[in-house]
């Protein structure tokens, strides 16, 4: 599987055996997604298979965790009482490094500030057999692509952008920490059988059009929830014009359309990348089993989209949502019409979506042209290398220096501003401004905690060109810049190598192998720590219906996991459930007053912060519910957005619809994620009402629950609530959580 794990092997023989069993049963051609997913079934001979309906029991090959989510995942694994992980697993330190002064200084500061957390993760990894990538090693998804992903792998990761590995032909799925614990414990992992959306690519990429433009276009077509419950499978002759890391970019941002994951079929571009990253033996094996790593001719897709890459234009999406798509040629005009600031304050390249060698090279090629004409960036400019290997290689090959010369600051090999780890000084909170990034998300306040920052996402080379020009009104395909000598010139589209001509420079060794004998390894969590807290089991269901639930908040509009459990400065509390619960729903808009973090306390009738009100209810034995809108919980995989409401006394979340990962996370923690049978019933509920949920004694798959709405004037209404629980998930609810149920089964 990896040179870091010499005793764990790729089982294409088992994949082939399972695929043949399922193909014989279904008697039809299979998509690539189906081959890899069904090829990992726990019981391929008897598993019920129906796209979009049945739950599959799967055996993933490996688990990956980033440091912000690994804390809670490892705390849950410790609670399970198991001695070692059952599958190859890794922890990656990339989320806790704040961008402030530059790479080396920021890394030193992060190691000092987060020493307690890093020590916990390193010792827990050593104790339980988990590989540990130290801070500075790079972003989890780039490390996985370089070392662990391979065609045909089924990998789960505790980060929503885990689908990045689909660029190397794997099914890589973002999950919450409780799902990771199941797999690390050797328990079959459950996933609702995905539908498959086919995206047929024809033509070829050229000029300023990049792989990023493919997913920006798809996001505009499908919107932020159009991929929910589906795997997006790219195919067609156009894929051969896209590099392996370019395919990873497309799969990575598939998280923004709600897709379970995205994947490309194995081809020569993947083989080239495997060879260059020291895995020629895997490429040889993939060649041998190639028929199982591509879709069958004549396979059926639930939806089909066709994109001609030869006609695709550079795109830029935003602000405030990643599915608001504009051609770069038109965004300036649209911005002026909408009143968005056209002057660009900061351009930021990198992130897990666009930080490959090719990305850095294309940006450097644009910057080099500006320097040749005596120009530097008009906007501030930052660069985030994806890994230590990328950083070392772009330093050696001169790309990093070119990007510095044009005015850029090279940040640490980490997530940084993409996830809000940015100590931004050039504006005040509330100041209206525009930034352009090569990131994946641009939700309100995500990058800098300023709700007035208009963030746009695009390709690294477009970010670089716009940062040089300093305005959204610049189109590099047609517009001219004025050089230092007063002469006008036009930027040429970048044309660079997708991989270095020499071998990659690995840079510093940042990996810690788990020891063969960990019997003497201690994992300490201080009872007085403000960063880490051992978990206490959640209470079991009492066997009764949920009577007179108070409405904590009725949310208006978009409510992402950033709204439910903010990142940025709160990341430091990801291992301490009680402390991080002080950010519960502070970004959500209360329909009653149109404000964030201001809800009515039903007892005192005073308005106050959401977490304080939830704590008041919990202290006084008042159980509560949240009412949400469409696609509730979209965005990050962070299970804290489910742990926090459970910890503070929540019992149910009722919405028009859920994002996949968040819905599962809620179930795992013993909450009830429910949807209105009639979405219009959202309007029947008011923040001052009380709700009773009936039918839990006869809780069964596919059977709706009743909800009685009790209005303050004494009148009542009854509505129906749907759910997607299966038998196993109902057992989680009755036990109080999936972890509680695991312990019951062990006993």
Number of Cβ within a 10 Å radius of residue 102: 14
Residues 6+ apart with CB under 8 A from 627: 551, 553, 554, 555, 654, 655, 682, 685, 687
- In sequence order, the 6+-apart residues with CB closer than 8 A to the CB of 105 are none
Q: What is the token pair recorded at 732?
A: 């989680």
Reduce the DSSP state of residue 325 to 3 states and report it. Answer: strand
Q: How far apart are CA 296 and CA 35, in angstroms?
A: 9
Q: How far apart are CA 287 and CA 597, in angstroms?
A: 55
Contact 275, 269 (CB under 8 A): no
Q: Please identify which residue in the block is written with the tokens 């189109």.
A: 475
Residue identified by tokens 């939830």 is 614
Task: Tell me which DSSP letter residue 537 carries.
Answer: P
Listed residue (539, 537, 575) closest to 743, CA to CA: 537
Active site residue 387: no
Q: Distance (Å, rounded) from C-alpha 585 to C-alpha 633?
A: 11
Bridge partner residues of 551 (DSSP): 625
Tokens of 64: 């990956």
Q: Cβ distance 723 to 705 under 8 Å?
A: yes
Residue with tokens 């995206």: 199
546 three-state secondary structure: strand
Q: What is the DSSP letter of 443?
A: B
Query: ∠ CA 390-391-392 to the nearest 5 degrees?
Result: 95
In angstroms, the CA 596 to CA 563 distance is: 9
CA distances from 644 to 281, 648, 687 (A): 45, 6, 20
Residue from 531, 638, 646, 651 carrying the catalytic annotation: 638
Answer yes or no: 25 catalytic. no
Task: Give the Cα separation of 318 and 213 in Å (integer).
Answer: 13
> Is residue 268 flagged as an active site residue?
no
Paired strand residues for 356: none
- Among the listed residues 160, 636, 637, 657, the single catalytic one is 636
Describe the crossing of helices 660-668 and 727-735 by its angle, rounded to 10 degrees.
50
Give the residues across from 488 on adjacent strands.
482
- The position carrying tokens 């990305």 is 359
647 is catalytic: no
Which of 94, 182, 448, 681 is labelled catalytic? Answer: 94
Catalytic annotation present for 737: no
Q: How far apart are CA 120 and CA 523, in angstroms?
A: 6
β-strand 488-489 against 546-554: which pairing, if any?
unpaired
Question: Most distant CA pair in the chain: distance in Å?
Answer: 80
Please, are residues 639 and 612 in contact by the beta-carbon 8 Å criterion? no
> Cα dist. 744→447, 543, 642, 731, 737 in Å?
42, 17, 22, 10, 11
Q: What are phi and psi of 608, to 5 degrees?
A: -160, 180
To the query of whether residue 441 is one of the catalytic residues in this protein, the response is yes
DSSP letter assigned to residue 387: B
Using omega within 30 degrees of 0 as the cis cutoff, is the peptide bond preceding 319 cis? Answer: yes
Of these residues, 269, 441, 660, 662, which one is catalytic?
441
CA atoms within 13 A of residue 464's CA, in its CB half-sphere: 35
Question: In 373-424, which ranges are continuous DSSP H helix?
Answer: 388-396, 399-405
How far apart CA 333 and CA 335 sit, in angstroms, is 5
User: Are the C-beta atoms of residues 725 and 663 closer than 8 Å to each other?
Assistant: no
CA–CA distance from 574 to each of 174, 581, 610 (Å)? 18, 9, 19
Point out the catalytic residue in the list 159, 397, 448, 562.
Answer: 159
Residues 6+ apart with CB under 8 A from 239: 201, 247, 264, 265, 267, 269
The CA distance from 529 to 531, in Å, is 5
Catalytic residue selected from 40, 51, 62, 95: 95
The catalytic residues are: 94-95, 159, 441, 636, 638
């Amino acid at each position: 599987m990896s040179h870091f794990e010499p005793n764990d092997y790729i089982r294409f023989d088992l994949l082939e055996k399972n695929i043949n069993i399922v193909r014989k049963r279904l008697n039809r051609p299979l998509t690539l997604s189906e081959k890899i997913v069904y090829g990992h079934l726990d019981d391929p001979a008897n598993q019920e298979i129906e796209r979009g309906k049945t739950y599959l029991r799967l055996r993933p090959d490996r688990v990956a965790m980033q440091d912000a989510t690994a804390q809670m995942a490892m705390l849950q694994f410790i609670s399970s009482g198991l001695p070692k992980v059952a599958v190859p697993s890794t922890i990656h330190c990339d989320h806790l490094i704040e961008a402030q002064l530059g790479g080396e200084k920021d890394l030193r500061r992060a190691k000092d500030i987060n020493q307690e957390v890093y020590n916990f993760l390193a010792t827990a990894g050593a104790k339980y057999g988990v590989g540990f990538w130290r801070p500075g090693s790079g972003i989890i998804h780039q490390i996985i692509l370089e070392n662990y992903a391979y065609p045909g792998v089924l990998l789960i990761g505790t980060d929503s952008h885990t689908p990045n590995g689909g660029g190397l032909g794997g099914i890589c799925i973002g999950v919450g920490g409780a799902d990771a614990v199941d797999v690390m414990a050797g328990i079959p992992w459950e996933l609702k059988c995905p539908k498959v959306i086919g995206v047929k690519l024809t033509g070829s990429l050229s000029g300023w059009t990049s792989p990023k433009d493919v997913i920006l276009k798809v996001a505009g077509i499908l919107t932020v929830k159009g991929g929910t419950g589906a795997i997006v499978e790219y195919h067609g002759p156009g894929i051969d014009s896209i590099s392996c890391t370019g395919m990873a970019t497309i799969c990575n941002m598939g998280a923004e359309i709600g897709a379970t994951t995205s994947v490309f079929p194995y081809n020569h571009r993947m083989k080239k990348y495997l060879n260059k990253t020291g895995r020629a033996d895997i490429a040889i094996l993939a060649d041998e089993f190639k028929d199982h790593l591509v879709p069958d001719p004549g396979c059926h897709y639930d939806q089909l989209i066709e994109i001609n890459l030869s006609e695709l234009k550079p795109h830029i999406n935003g602000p405030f949502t990643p599915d608001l798509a504009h051609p770069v040629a038109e965004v300036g005009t649209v911005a002026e019409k909408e009143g968005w600031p056209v002057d660009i304050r900061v351009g930021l390249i990198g992130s897990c979506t666009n930080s490959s060698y090719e990305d850095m090279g294309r940006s450097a090629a644009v910057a080099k042209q500006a320097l040749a004409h005596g120009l530097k960036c008009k906007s501030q400019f930052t660069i985030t290398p994806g890994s230590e290997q990328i950083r070392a290689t772009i330093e050696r090959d001169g790309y990093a220096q070119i990007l510095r010369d044009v005015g850029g600051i090279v940040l640490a090999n980490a997530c940084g501003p993409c996830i809000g780890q940015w100590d931004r000084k050039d504006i005040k909170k509330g100041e209206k401004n525009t930034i352009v990034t090569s990131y994946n998300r641009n939700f309100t306040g995500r990058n800098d905690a300023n709700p007035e920052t208009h963030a746009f996402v695009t390709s690294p080379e477009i970010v670089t060109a716009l940062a040089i020009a300093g305005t959204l009104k610049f189109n590099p395909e047609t517009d001219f810049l004025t050089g230092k000598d007063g002469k006008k010139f036009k930027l040429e589209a970048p044309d660079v190598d997708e991989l270095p001509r020499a071998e990659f420079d690995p840079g510093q060794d940042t990996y810690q192998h788990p020891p063969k004998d960990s019997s003497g390894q201690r994992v300490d969590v201080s009872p007085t720590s403000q960063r880490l807290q051992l978990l206490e089991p959640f209470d079991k269901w009492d066997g009764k219906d949920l009577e007179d639930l108070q409405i904590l908040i009725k949310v208006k509009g978009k409510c992402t996991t950033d709204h439910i459990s903010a990142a940025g400065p709160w990341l430091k509390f990801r291992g301490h459930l009680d402390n991080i619960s002080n950010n519960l729903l502070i970004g959500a808009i209360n329909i009653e007053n149109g404000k964030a973090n201001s809800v009515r306390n039903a007892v005192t009738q005073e308005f106050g912060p959401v977490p304080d009100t939830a704590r008041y209810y919990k202290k006084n034995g008042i159980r509560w519910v949240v009412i949400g809108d469409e696609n509730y919980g979209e965005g990050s995989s962070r299970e804290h957005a489910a742990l926090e409401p459970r910890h503070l006394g929540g019992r149910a979340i009722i919405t028009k619809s859920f994002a996949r990962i968040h819905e599962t996370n809620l179930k795992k923690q013993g909450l009830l994620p429910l949807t209105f049978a009639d979405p219009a019933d959202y309007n029947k509920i008011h923040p001052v009402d009380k709700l009773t949920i009936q039918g839990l004694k006869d809780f069964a798959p596919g059977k709706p629950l009743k909800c009685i709405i009790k209005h303050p004037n004494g009148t009542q209404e009854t509505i129906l609530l749907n759910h997607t629980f299966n038998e196993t998930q109902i057992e989680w609810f009755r036990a109080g959580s999936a972890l509680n149920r695991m312990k019951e089964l062990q006993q």
